[in-house]
Amino acid sequence: CDSFIHSEAVEASESPDSNWARLPQELLLHIFQYLPLLDRAYASQVCRGWNQAFHMPELWRCFEFELNQPASSYLKATHPDLIKQIIKRHSNHLQYVSFKVDSSTESAEAACDILSQLVNCSLKTLGLISTARPSFMEVPKSHFISALTVVFVNSKSLSSLKIDDTPVDDPSLKVLVANNSDTLKLLKMSSCPHVSPAGILCVADQCHGLRELALNYHLLSDELLLALSSEKHVHLEHLRIDVVSENPGQHFHTIKKSSWDAMVRHSPKFNLVMYFFLYEDEFGPFFNDEIPVTHLYFGRSVSKEVLGRVGLHCPRLVELVVCANGLRPLDEELIRIAKHCTQLSAIGLGECEVSCSAFVEFVKMCGRRLSQLSIMEEVLIPDHKYSLDEIHWEVSKHLGRVWFPDMMPTW
């Protein structure tokens, strides 16, 4: 593709009847926006006008740095010469920037080096993405914080910040708030062990325009929910909580029902997404009172008792995914969920057991509002009413569309 563009453009520019070299800049900009970066680079060699178009600020507002080590990664990488050119000629044009790094510490350090040089830019969005293991956690903390602080200080209008799995800390969050409190709308910082509940509370207290927040459960507190529910804070749209156990038997604190109630009163339409990666004996503090969760994912085995509590105390539930449960059928629990979770529209079941009769009753109770029904075939246990061959017809009838069990997980 790139050689074709280059040869065709050269032939066109050399033709005496051609006006390619005199295309309006606005039209060139529109064309260049559809070209991959490498093709744009080839096209910029055609003539002076196209080279000028290649450097138009509008083409450099959004950029993803891909940093990978050739010896350890098969992914493509942004060429070092291009990185130098961007920093030299286009750093002040960058607004929407992300860094995608592989599992090597060298790539994460390279990302920090680039961030440290963005002193003339004012970013609107920044994302730090580790494609494998969290390589930013291997970078010296002082190096990472120094680089991030450069962006926080110089970007006076950050609206979106995605820094999961990084060594960001409380002091750097204070710098973020001091310079971007009026514009920050989205903050994703799951698995950031150096941030304390006080650090995230500082963000919530000062960034009244925050609409989306993602963090680990250990940072969640009653004070945080009350801060997000204050009159001066905008309505929250999306709150994601990762509940992760690092060691078996880990203790988890309890959030008061009154704090959740305050959130619902303030932001009645907000989505509360919770990912659980716990051992079965660690669910004690959860689902004992009503909780406004809308999307619930269990990544490890979860007991019948816990799923029973979900059916009683999660009236806003929209989506439920259970990756594993055990060998005891979940018939009663599914029926309870169908009865009490009247907004449920999506469910996925993996290594569980449900009798065919109970499953049909569940689908019948939920009806056509079940837009997603992902059930592994081995989950369904034939009984005196339905065989595996019969159940898909019965379920399809109640859903109003053709349905078959899954042969492999789709979530």
- Tokens 């609409």: give the residue: 211
Q: What is the pLDDT of residue 38?
A: 75
- Cα separation, 126 vs 63, in Å, equals 10
User: How is residue 110 written in tokens?
Assistant: 């390279």
Of 247, 194, 192, 255, nearest to 222 by C-alpha is 255
- Residues belonging to the chain: 411
Q: What is the pLDDT of residue 28?
A: 81
Q: What is the pLDDT of residue 32?
A: 83
- Cα separation, 166 vs 193, in Å, equals 8
Contact 241, 220 (CB under 8 A): yes
Give Cβ neighbours of residue 379 (< 8 Å, ≥ 6 apart).
349, 350, 351, 352, 353, 354, 405
Contact 129, 101 (CB under 8 A): yes
- Cα separation, 195 vs 213, in Å, equals 14
User: What secondary structure does DSSP assign to 77-124, as a single string?
Assistant: ---HHHHHHIIIIITTT--EEEEEE-S-HHHHHHHHHHHHT-TT---S
Burial of 385 (0-12, 13-18, 19+ CB in 10 A): middle
> What is the full per-residue pLDDT of the chain (411 aa) written as tens digits?
444 444 545 554 455 445 666 778 788 888 888 887 778 778 888 888 888 888 888 888 888 999 987 755 555 788 888 888 888 888 888 999 999 999 899 999 999 999 999 888 889 999 999 987 889 999 999 999 999 999 999 988 999 999 999 999 999 999 999 999 999 999 999 999 999 999 999 999 999 999 999 999 999 999 999 999 999 999 999 999 999 998 777 899 999 999 999 999 999 999 999 999 998 889 999 999 999 999 999 998 899 999 999 999 999 999 999 998 777 899 999 999 999 999 999 999 998 999 999 999 999 999 899 999 999 889 999 998 998 888 989 999 999 999 999 876 555
Contact 90, 96 (CB under 8 A): no
- Cα separation, 51 vs 42, in Å, equals 9
Helix 331-340 and helix 304-313, axial crossing angle in degrees, nearest 10: 10
Of 30, 28, 36, nearest to 52 by C-alpha is 28
Q: What is the pLDDT of residue 58?
A: 84
Contact 155, 122 (CB under 8 A): yes
- Cα separation, 382 vs 320, in Å, equals 23
User: How is residue 86 written in tokens?
Assistant: 């961007």
Q: What is the pLDDT of residue 186?
A: 97
Of 109, 59, 105, 108, nearest to 82 by C-alpha is 59
- Cα separation, 178 vs 171, in Å, equals 11
